[in-house]
Amino acid sequence: MSPDFHTVVGLGNPGSRYDGTRHNIGFAVVDALRAASFPHDGRGVEVECRPLAGRAISGSLGHSGWLERSGYLEAPLKVGDWSSTLIKPITFMNRSGEPLASYLSFRKIPISQVIVVHDEIDIPFGTVRIKVDGGEGGHNGLRSISALCGGRNYVRVRVGVGKPPPGSPLSKAEDGIATWVLNRFFQEEQQFAEEMVAKACAAVVMIAREGLKAAQNKFNR
């Protein structure tokens, strides 16, 4: 039996200078989930979230509906008969585990009941993949969560933001990956990024309502 997923965490950096960046795609996904309205049967998540995705990526959906806690923002999420809590750590990315650890300890929720949505450079741009456990692939937000929140046994919704194109200065620079993920999407990428956010929203809900295996079978093709 799949665990009950009580918490969905979107990763990003706080502050307007980071709005719209690849590294903040996790924030965009939970922002879209918070702002959407879902039918009772929980269907049509991708359709409901798609019109919100552009504003979610740009950070322009605002903070309405979010409650500010110590180090994170919190909002309820209800889709059909499933309810959960959305979390946005507002520490910087490399300290994401600190407020999440406090939240999980207070609520007595194990890390195995958490879904973390984050940017991923190691899968193609525009794709969404789901995995549990395993390494963090150099992602500082995941490293912080694994170190401080009870291990690696949490679900990751990996949102593909791609890598610097071959031959570009960033592909050769020592800090090229860090610069890449802190840059915004190119204009020609925007439509695909919005579709990807809506797809990631659907992945989150499918994991919770239909189980991890069903969601992996759909999204990990």
Q: Which residues are catalytic?
A: 23
- Give the C-alpha separation, 215 to 136, whole Å: 21
Provide the 3-class DSSP secondary structure of residue 107.
helix
Give the Å distances, CA to CA, from 138 to 93, 120, 134, 174, 216.
12, 10, 12, 14, 23
- Give the C-alpha separation, 71 to 88, whole Å: 9
Contact of 12 with 23, CB cutoff 8 Å: yes
